[in-house]
Amino acid sequence: MFEINNFLAKISKIKASDVHLMLGKQPSLRISGEIQRLDTPALTEEDFDGILATILHKDIQYKLKDATDLDFTYELKGVSRYRVNYCKDLGMPKITMRLIPYDIPTFEQLMLPPSIQQFTECNSGILLITGATGSGKSTTIASMIENINKTQRRHIITIEDPVEFLYSDKNCLITQRGLGIDVPDFPSGIKYALRQDPDIIIIGEIRDKETVEAAIAAAETGHFVLSTIHTNSATQTINRIVGLFESDQKDFIRKRLSVALKGTIAQKLLPKIGGGLVPALEIMSATPAIADYIAKDKMSDIDQLIARSNNSTLCTMNSSIYNLYKLHLVEKETAIEYSDNPTELYQMMRGIYHGLNDPSSGNLI
C-alpha cells in the first residue's frame, strides 16, 4: 500500500516543486519545470483513502464529501510543508502538492536582481507580483518579507489562501491569517487588518474588485500592500485591475491606482543550464511619468518607457531573458521559447536590435 509520508520523505532530496497524485495513475513530479512520471505502481482507491486520511485536517474532512476543489496545507515534520489542492479529474480524485520549504530563500539564492531591494523600503502604496501559476510569485514575496523581517521593525500581516510559508519573528512582528480559518475572505481580512496596527499587509491574491478597493484603501491610509495577480506584464496588470470595474468607475480607479501603485514585477521561471530554474523579470517602478500614463490610460507609452530605459528599476522581460542568455544561464532555444516577443529577442542576440537602448547596459541580475 502506498504510504504518503514515506513517499514524501523519500523524494525530499529531489528538487521537485510539485507532486501529482491521481487515482489509477503513477505518481508524477515536476522537476526543473518538467513533469516526470515515476516508475512505481499506479495508485489504487485504497491508496487514495490512505493519503486523504493522512493529509486532511480534521476540521476540513467534512468538506470532502461535496467538494470538487479544496485548498489546504499539510506539514510533514522535519521534511517540508505543502500547499495542497484536491480536485476531481473526470469524476476521479486528484491531489496536487506544492512544496513549501521551511527555509525561506534569500534574493541571492533566488537570483533576483538587486533592484528588488528598493521595494522592501516602501512605507506605503501597492506592489504587485505577477505571473502565471508556478512562476515563483509566492516565493518572491516570502523572500521580500523575510528581508524586511531581518532588517526593519514593522508589523506585517499576511492574509492567505491557504497560509504557505511560515515566518518566525526576528525584528518584525508577523501575524499570519488564513481564509476560512481566521478570516472569511480577502476584503474582510484587509478591513480588520487595518484595526490591528499593521505597517505591511500581504494579500495572497487579487481576485475581484472588492479586494482591489480594500487594497487601495489600505495603501491610501499609509500602509504598504503586497499582492499577486495572474497577469504577464505591467500594462496587462493595470488593464486587468481597471477591467474589474464598471465603465463609469474606470477613470476613478485608474487615478487612484496611479497614486497608490509603487510598481509591478512580472515573473517567469526558465530551465537553467545544468538543471534547476532561474527567474526572468519585467520590473516596472512607478515613476512620476508612469503614474501620469496610468492616470491618462496611455498603456503603450508605459511599454515604450520601460523598453527605452537602461535603469534596472525599469526592465522589460526580453531584456531580462537576454541577460540570462548572455550570462550563459539559459540556452538560446530556451530563451526564445519563453519570450513573448521572440523576434525582438533574436535581434538582441544577433546584435542588430536598434529600436531602443541597449538592453544589456544595466545590471539586471
358 falls within a domain:
no
Of 142, 151, 126, 132, give the one whose Cα is nearest residue 215. 126
199 shares a domain with 135: yes
**pLDDT of the residue at 362:** 41
57 falls within a domain:
yes
142 shares a domain with 74: no
Q: Could you say which of 46, 75, 100 is where a domain stops?
A: 100
28 falls within a domain:
yes
Position 120: which residue type? T
168 shares a domain with 274: yes
CATH of the domain at 83: 3.30.450.90
357 falls within a domain:
no
Q: Are 128 and 237 in contact (CB under 8 A)?
A: yes
Q: Are 228 and 204 in contact (CB under 8 A)?
A: yes
345 shares a domain with 230: yes
Q: What is the distance between the alpha carbons of residues 116 and 119, in angstroms, rounded to a whole number?
A: 6
Q: What is the distance between the alpha carbons of residues 303 and 277, in angstroms, rounded to a whole number?
A: 27
Write the DSSP symbol of residue 24.
Answer: T
164 shares a domain with 46: no
**pLDDT of the residue at 90:** 86
Q: What is the 3-state secondary structure (H, E, C) of 63-118?
A: HCCCCCEEEEEEEECCCEEEEEEEEEECCEEEEEEEEECCCCCCHHHHCCCHHHHH
Q: Are 277 and 271 in contact (CB under 8 A)?
A: yes
CATH of the domain at 290: 3.40.50.300
| pLDDT, tens digit only, all 365 positions of the chain | 899 999 999 998 888 999 999 999 999 999 988 999 999 999 999 999 999 999 988 777 777 777 778 889 999 999 999 999 999 888 888 999 999 989 999 999 999 999 999 999 999 999 999 999 889 999 999 999 999 999 999 999 999 998 999 999 999 999 999 998 899 999 999 999 999 999 999 999 999 999 999 999 999 999 999 999 999 999 999 999 999 999 999 999 999 999 999 999 999 999 999 989 999 999 999 999 999 999 999 999 999 999 988 778 899 999 999 999 999 999 999 999 999 999 999 999 998 654 444 444 444 43
Q: Look at the block and give the residue holding cell 476521479.
A: 92
362 falls within a domain:
no
Q: How far apart are the first and last CA of the chain?
A: 47
How many separate domains does the chain show? 2
360 falls within a domain:
no
117 shares a domain with 85: no
- Name the strand (E) or helix (H) holding 236: helix 234-243
C-alpha cell at 164: 504557505
β-pair type (224-229, 200-203):
parallel
325 shares a domain with 180: yes
Q: Could you say which of 79, 100, 121 is where a domain stops?
A: 100
313 falls within a domain:
yes
Residue 167 burial (CB count, 10 A): 17
Q: Could you say which of 83, 100, 117 is where a domain stops?
A: 100
Rounded to the nearest 5°, which phi and psi values hold at 187? -55, -40
68 falls within a domain:
yes
Query: Which residue pairs from 113-116 have beta carbons closer than 8 angstroms and sit at least 24 positions apart in sequence?
Result: 113/281, 113/283, 113/312, 113/315, 113/320, 113/363, 113/364, 113/365, 114/312, 114/363, 115/283, 115/285, 115/312, 115/313, 115/315, 115/364, 116/140, 116/144, 116/265, 116/283
pTM of this prediction? 0.88
- Name the strand (E) or helix (H) holding 262: strand 261-271
288 shares a domain with 151: yes
- What is the domain range of residue 232? 107-350
141 shares a domain with 23: no
337 shares a domain with 234: yes
Q: Could you tell me which residues come within 8 angstroms of residue 348 by beta carbon, excluding any fewer than 6 positions away?
A: 318, 319, 322, 359, 360
**pLDDT of the residue at 357:** 44
> Which residues face 88 on adjacent strands?
93
Q: How far is CA 24 from CA 4, 50, 158, in A?
A: 16, 15, 38
Can you spell out the DSSP letters for 288-343?
Answer: HHHHHHHHTT-HHHHHHHHHH--STTEE-HHHHHHHHHHTTSS-HHHHHHH-S-HH
β-pair type (16-22, 28-31):
antiparallel
131 shares a domain with 82: no
257 shares a domain with 334: yes
